Amino acid sequence: MNFNLTEEQQLIKQNAREFALENVEPIAAELDKTGRYPAEVIKKMAELDFMGMPYPPEYGGAGADYLSYILVVEEISRSCASTGIIYSAHCSLAAWPIFKWGSEELKQKYLVPLCKGEKLGAFALTEPGAGTDAAAGTCTAKADADSYILNGTKCFITNGGVADVYIVFALTDPAQGVKGLSAFVVDANLPGFEIGKHEDKMGIRGSQTTELVFKNCRIPQTNLIGKEGKGFGIAMQTLDGGRVGVAAQALGIAQAALDEAIKFAKERVQFGKPIATKQAIQWMLAEMETKLQAARLLTYQAAAAKDEGKIFSKEAGMAKMFASEAADWICGKAIQIHGGYGYIKNFKVERLYRDAKICTIYEGTNEVQRMVVSGSLLR
């Protein structure tokens, strides 16, 4: 059993870290403050072939494995969680359904520019009345000649308003419930497609989160992904990969919090000595590192299972659940080590604490992950 990264993976991780330190870290606090979308960083990531990293070169990708992509998500998120989720939602959620189930026409028209970073992608499943209960959605797509007419509202959509391509789930046969759900590729510039409310979030503030509103939006029938009625399965399988991406985002946030805690503990002097000499601080740091390394192993294991073509729903659920809760806990301890300074916005750990929380919620709450994992055990 080998837990070591390959030489190529180590190089990818190093390059991603250097890129993040040079391009992402300097603007992370500003993105958090202003909520600005970092278009210039995404453009540079495209130039380095990050945007289509786990996809074949014939579709504009880098041809890397999923674990290599996860390493990039982790290192980008270590500097800025907002940029990390922009990237992860694009790569894990938007590009994958087209690659896995899309026709060759859809791949050439949409996957290639997504992988090249010429277009940004988003994934639209959640609705105001259908979050965890995805089967309760009311967005519809009615067949009409050579088109589908899309009506309804989606919410909490990452990359909303800045994406060029949206993967949208809608009922083609409402009477069938979840068995009538289908998946579509929708261009952002189509008539009848509007961006609704922009959410003012607690964390990941540089990531745009909006409503999508469809009012008799006509899309070509050729933009159907796979077959009618197969949308729920497409969504769930796509979310498995996305959950590994969220776990990697959590790893990056947690690593950054630990880095800050160690640095502060060495510099902060109380009672004539750095607080790093105090056993109470040392024990907190030891537990933080232990939880982080356990989360990292679970996350890399899930990515490796995906690379091996295995069913990895359980592994993805465990990784997302454990890594996100570890990040939440580690960020809390980092603030505790900083004392009153940790509660001040000028200190990075305050932002990290706010960013970490969402990892326990989106792409399936951790309560859902517990259902997934326990369900796999009780079959």
Output b/e per residue, 173-194; b: 16+ Cβ within 10 A. Answer: beeeebebbbbbbbbbeeeebe
Q: Which residues pair with 157 in a beta bridge?
A: 210
First-to-last CA distance in the chain? 28
Q: Which of 58, 289, 363, 367 is catalytic?
A: 363
For 8-76, the DSSP string reads HHHHHHHHHHHHIIIIIHHHHHHHHHH----HHHHHHHHHTT-TTTTS-GGGT-----HHHHHHHHHHH
Q: Which residues lie below 8 Å from residue 146, measured CB to CB, with a gap of 6+?
A: 220, 221
d(CA 119, CA 113): 6
Beta-strand runs (E) in 262-378 = 269-270, 273-274
Asked whether 150 and 168 are in contact (CB, 8 A), the reply is yes
Q: Which residues lie below 8 Å from residue 151, measured CB to CB, with a gap of 6+?
A: 139, 140, 142, 214, 215, 216, 217
Helices and strands (H and E) in the chain: how many: 13, 10
d(CA 17, CA 308): 26
Q: State the residue for tokens 């105090």.
A: 278
363 is catalytic: yes
Q: State the residue for tokens 């709450």.
A: 365
> Which residues are designated catalytic?
363
